[in-house]
Amino acid sequence: MKSRTIVLSIAFAVLAVLVALVSLSIGTTKLPVADVVEVLLGGGRRGTRLVVLELRLPRVATGLLVGIAFAVSGALLQTLSRNPLASPDIVGVNSGASAGAVAVIVLAGSGGGNISGAAAKVGIPLAAVLGGLLATLIVGALSIQRGVVDAGRVVLIGVGIAAAANSLVAWLLVIGDVNDAGRAAAWLAGSLNARAWSDAIPVLVAVVLLLPVAMSFNRDLSALVLGDDVASSLGVRVARIRLALLIVATVLAALATAGAGPIAFVALVAPQIAQRLTRMERPPLLTTAMLGALFVVLADLLARNGLQWLQVGPYELPVGVVTAACGAPYLLHLIGRQQKGR
């Protein structure tokens, strides 16, 4: 790893932790950051502990973790397809995962109350992973031409699959009970509101297990950016590695989606910015992960408090609205650059 990459990774990680601390201190009861730190180190008063550890930390932790998961997923898909537009939110992985999760919320929902128990804890993440994998499988299969995945087709077909999955979601919302549908719609905007530890844990497991797996393929990815033919003549088993990393990327994005909804543009933007700042020829995984975490906690801090700070009123926005507001202009910029390149 180059020193520039290491420095930026550490910088983003430190910033993410700082923003997380600020986020933990702000709320109905404002706490000094020092108290928050004391609680996190195992001390503090009981009331403070309850507020920080049970009410606020699950949300912040979920934010950090889904930021990492989305960003790494985007970095992997962009590298594998050699296309900066190929991220799970563009090529249908998040939409497939959403369709799976919404199906559970709507079909297994109890009408009036929250779904609970096994259906919520295991059902939603599992359905999201299945939905995401199904979307990836379809996009992959339809993108194959002459035995190889065509990088250009991945995005076009992915956008089509995303649209199909989104219309499935819309249909589920229409047939569902109005309360379930309302809850599903709020979740679909990408929200960290009222996250519990049960939302964070599947993402935590995915990040802890799969980030090291992805990073163990770092050197193969460095060969893969030179093209499939060159990579395979350098001894990389291209087909096998591509399949393995495709599954890793899909599971990361799907579990992040299950945890916090399909938060838009994190997976698209974080890898590209990390790549530019480190001046590498592909998104560096660790830097991207840390930037993704920073992006989501910062966006969530703004989403929770931005309108209040602007004195518009005590309203909270879903975090996905803020990331989309930042990410959409960047997407247009990317498309503009790609067309100029032709």
Partner 1 sequence: MHVENLTLAYGADAPVVTGLTLEVPAGQLTAVVGPNGSGKSTLLRGMSRLLPPQSGQVLLDGQDIHTLPARELARKLGVLPQGPVTPEGITAAELVSRGRHPHRGLFGRLTAEDDAAIEEALAAVELTELRERPVDQLSGGQRQRVWIAMVLAQGTPHLLLDEPTTYLDLAHAVDVMNVVHAAAHTSGRTVVAVLHDLTLAAQYADHLVVMGQGRIAAEGRPVDVLTAELLHDVFGLQATVVEVGGAPVVVPDRRLVG
Residue 283 C-beta: closest distance to partner 1, Å: 12
Nearest distance from residue 221's CB to partner 1, in Å?
A: 11
Please report whether residue 216 would count as binding partner 1 according to CB under 8 A: yes
- Least distance to partner 1 from the beta carbon of 77, Å? 16
Residue 80's contacts (CB-CB under 8 Å, 6 or more residues apart) are 86, 224, 242, 245, 246, 249
Tell me which of 108, 234, 244, 325 binds partner 1, using CB under 8 A.
Answer: 234
Single out the residue of 256, 282, 294, 297 in contact with partner 1 (rule: CB under 8 A).
282
Using CB under 8 A as the binding rule, the residues of this chain from 73 to 112 that contact partner 1 are: 82
Q: Is 226 in the site for partner 1 (CB under 8 A)?
A: yes
Using rule CB under 8 A, residue 198 touches partner 1: no
- What is d(CA 342, CA 333) in angstroms, rounded to the nearest whole number? 15
Judged by CB under 8 A, how many residues of this single chain contact partner 1?
A: 22
C-alpha span between 131 and 337 (Å, rounded): 32
Residues sharing a CB contact under 8 Å with residue 43, sequence separation 6 or more, in sequence order: none
In angstroms, what is the minimal distance from the CB of 226 to partner 1? 6
E strand or H helix that includes residue 207: helix 197-216
Of 330, 342, 282, which Cα lies nearest the Cα of 77? 282
Q: Is 237 in the site for partner 1 (CB under 8 A)?
A: yes
Write the burial class of residue 332 (CB in 10 Å: 0-12 exposed, 13-18 middle, 19+ buried). exposed
CA–CA dist 222, 151 (Å, integer): 17
Residue 46 near partner 1 by CB under 8 A: no
Query: Interface residues with partner 1 (CB under 8 A)?
Result: 82, 146-147, 216, 219, 222-223, 225-227, 229-230, 232-237, 279-282
